[in-house]
Amino acid sequence: MTGSVPVLHPQHPVLVAAPDVQARGTDLRGALIVGVDLGEVDLVWEQVDATDAVFARCPMSDATERMLRDAGATILHRLEGIEFEPFRTTLYSYAELSAGYVEGRPETALDARIGAVSTRMGPADVLARGIHDVCIEAALMRFLDEAGAPVVGIMGSHITPRGDSDYREVATLARRFTRDGFIVATGGGPGLMEAANLGAWLAPADDGALDEAFEILSTVPSYEPDPGAYVDRAIEVRQRWPQGATSLGVPTWIYVDEPFNQFATHIAKYFQNSIRENGLLAIAHAGIVYTPGGSGTLQELFTDAAQNEYTLYDVRSPMILMGAEYRSGRLTDATAALQKLAERGGWGRLVRVVDDADGAFESIRELLPSEVMPPRPALRRR
């Protein structure tokens, strides 16, 4: 497949929303249909090819259910006693995950309430989490298809404080990518991930807005000492600049003590971290900028290398290592190993070490794969 729309794996589910069921007529093969009242769809179900289709939480008559099962479909009904909605048709929004939030108490938000039950091991809980992640994957593919813009990933440490120079540089880089027509994607957490989504959010504002936001946020630089104040400063920034540009966060509930960052407009939150990690790297067809980080960033670095080595997702994408740590600091061994692997595999030109945000931006633009739709310099608001 070419273009800006990636696949997470060769047989990712195709989410079919309510208006599309009628449009597809009798061909519903392989479709994932969620929350559609089939009694309101004008189709002769005896004539529908539903091979490998899944109908999740779709009201239907007993007769229709029998016909669809006989036609090769799977029928999933509502799961009882589950604190979250596993059958989703869209990504999460900030408003949804922050629902119920009481000032100064992050544990009151829906995001934290879901996290609190995310490790329960009852059969219904495990089943619900698996269904949820499949639906999120399908919703993510639909979002990227509709967005029609190349995705660039920015990876880095989750513990970098808000006043740090790396935080400022990453935010500035993400703002530049967003203004140039890319969709910025991150792991959706704090630290440098928050910085990237912040920069994207403030792309429509004047340049001085980012400096003002830094001043507000740096009064509570880290999450752990005072989680409530940390979240509240981000809310203050959102309220001051309420019209942010589109960016993507792909976090996981495995890190139950971390907040989702407040600046991603679209949030693909998973229960399974392994699915989330692979998917986040796979969708960044335009390339990934690796900023300083720890073991999580190194894991992403070499998972991305494996995807490039085996061309798992149709295109080999640039891997830009930004910062002195990759050139002459504690991450030089990782740099050398990656460069050796890439050279041996014939894609060495896609690995580049740069010193700063300017170098990262220019490298992504220069190395943008021909299969990827070029960015259009226009801001996408919520």
* pLDDT in 10s for each residue of the chain, 382 residues: 333 334 444 345 677 766 778 888 789 998 889 989 999 888 888 899 999 999 999 999 999 999 999 999 999 998 888 989 999 989 999 999 999 999 999 999 999 999 999 999 999 999 999 999 999 999 999 999 999 999 999 999 999 999 999 999 999 999 999 999 999 999 999 999 999 999 999 999 999 999 999 999 999 999 999 999 999 999 999 999 999 999 999 999 999 888 889 999 999 999 999 999 999 999 999 999 999 999 999 999 999 999 999 988 889 999 999 999 999 988 999 999 999 999 999 999 999 999 999 999 999 999 999 989 889 885 544 4
Q: Rounded CA gap, 211 and 270, in Å?
A: 32
Q: Rounded CA gap, 38 and 238, in Å?
A: 40
What the chain holds in terms of domains, given with CATH numbers, is 18-76 (no CATH), 149-367 (3.40.50.450)
Three-state secondary structure of the chain:
CCCCCCCCCCCCCEEECHHHHHHHCCECCCEEEECCCHHHCCCCHHHCECCCCEEECCCCCHHHHHHHHHCCCEEECCCCCCCCCCCCCCCECHHHHCCCCECCEHHHCHHHHHHHCCCCCCHHHHHHHHHHHHHHHHHHHHHHHHHCCCEEEEECCCCCCCCCHHHHHHHHHHHHHHHCCCEEEECCCCCHHHHHHHHHHCCCCCCHHHHHHHHHHCCCCCCCCCHHHHHHHHHHHHHHCCCCECCEECCECCCCCCCCCCCCCEECCECCHHHHHHHHHHHCCCEEEECCCCHHHHHHHHHHHHHHHCCCCCCCCCEEEECHHHHCCCCHHHHHHHHHHHHHHCCHHHEEEECCHHHHHHHHHHHCCCCCCCCCCCCCEC
Look at residue 10 in the predicted model and tell me its pLDDT: 39
Nearest Cα residue to 282 out of 252, 248, 312: 312
Look at residue 6 in the predicted model and tell me its pLDDT: 40
Q: What is the pTM of this model?
A: 0.91
What are the backbone angles phi and psi of residue 290, rounded to the nearest 5°? -100, 115
Q: Rounded CA gap, 308 and 10, in Å?
A: 15
Q: Rounded CA gap, 216 and 238, in Å?
A: 11
Q: Rounded CA gap, 192 and 293, in Å?
A: 9
